Amino acid sequence: MNAVVLRRTCRAEWTKLRTETGWWWLLLVLVSLTVAVGAATAGGVRCCGGDPAWLALSGVTVGQAVVVVLAVLCAGGEYGTGMMQVTLTAVPARTTVLAAKAAVLSAVVAVAGGVAVLGSLVAGHLLLPGSPALTDGPALRAALGSVLYLVLIAQLALGVTFAVRDGAVASGAVLAMLYLFPLISHVVTDPWLQRQLARAGPMPAGLAIQATTDLERLPIGPWPGLGVLALWTATALLLGGTVLRRRDA
């Protein structure tokens, strides 16, 4: 992959992004919704107990839906309007196109996600009784991990979008992939099966990174859980990249 071509393609993708007004509104919704849900959850706790970081960062489970929409628009919008043909004509190296979109999307989601996570932790620190300091080691790990979680969700959605080439289908598929495992785990009654679903699902496994207390009771550890999500994301990107290389736009 030519570094110069990649840099120019990234610049072109950034130009597309910053000239789209809808993107900025979605980023604002991502930040405000994540902080609002986290603050509401933290404010609803009337006494000590529970995991403060987990409660404060609960808005990530809602904000990730906005991240999915952002990622799907990154590629699905071009397929819908036919602009993808123009993009691939300008940059014939299709792997470069995928890498550039992934890089720009990751940077934007990381910045917006960082603001959302920081706002959520500040709100939680102010609202939750006995909340640890924001510089506490586990809290920092939960914060950094939550930002990485949102970035991985964006890449997962991007890979699926390139694979199916339809924004609506991609959005539905990714959201089902995320929320289906927790829903099934609430329906089944077998504790062993519930634990396996929590270990294998991209959302429950990935969100283990937010836990700061009682780690030994988790179905999967914080970093291994994020690793499970990374495997889902890598598989989606590999599939999307394969389809992109082998099929016409």
Task: Note the pLDDT of residue 133.
Answer: 67
Task: Note the pLDDT of residue 38.
Answer: 92
* CA 173, 178, 183, 185 torsion-angle sign: positive
Distance, in Å, from the CA atom of 5 to the CA atom of 103, rounded to the nearest integer, reads 14
The model's pLDDT over 60-103, given as tens digits with 9 standing for 90+, comes to 999 999 999 999 988 887 887 778 888 887 888 889 999 999 99
How many other CB atoms are found less than 10 A from the CB of residue 245?
A: 12
The model's pLDDT over 135-153, given as tens digits with 9 standing for 90+, comes to 788 889 999 999 999 999 9
Q: What angle do helix axes 137-164 and 60-81 make, rounded to 10 degrees?
A: 30
Reported as a pLDDT band with limits 50, 70 and 90, residue 130 is low
Average pLDDT value for residue range 118-147: 85
Read off the pTM: 0.94
Most confident of 19-23, 44-48, 127-131: 19-23
Task: Note the pLDDT of residue 51.
Answer: 84
Q: Read off the amino acid at residue 79.
A: Y
Reported as a pLDDT band with limits 50, 70 and 90, residue 132 is low
Number of domains in the chain: 1
The model's pLDDT over 177-214, given as tens digits with 9 standing for 90+, comes to 999 999 998 899 889 999 999 999 999 999 999 998 88
Task: Note the pLDDT of residue 76.
Answer: 81
* Residue 128: domain span: 3-246
**CA distances to 3, 136, 180, 240 from 115, in Å:** 30, 18, 28, 29
The model's pLDDT over 163-182, given as tens digits with 9 standing for 90+, comes to 999 889 999 999 999 999 99
What is the 3-class SS of the chain, one letter each residue? CCHHHHHHHHHHHHHHHHCCHHHHHHHHHHHHHHHHHHHHHHHCCCCCCCCHHHHHCCCHHHHHHHHHHHHHHHHHHHHHHCHHHHHHHHCCCHHHHHHHHHHHHHHHHHHHHHHHHHHHHHHHHHHCCCCCCCCCHHHHHHHHHHHHHHHHHHHHHHHHHHHHCCHHHHHHHHHHHHHHHHHHHHHCCCHHHHHHHHHHCHHHHHHHHHCCCCHHHCCCCHHHHHHHHHHHHHHHHHHHHHHHHHCCC
The model's pLDDT over 224-248, given as tens digits with 9 standing for 90+, comes to 999 999 999 999 999 999 999 887 6
Task: Note the pLDDT of residue 91.
Answer: 82
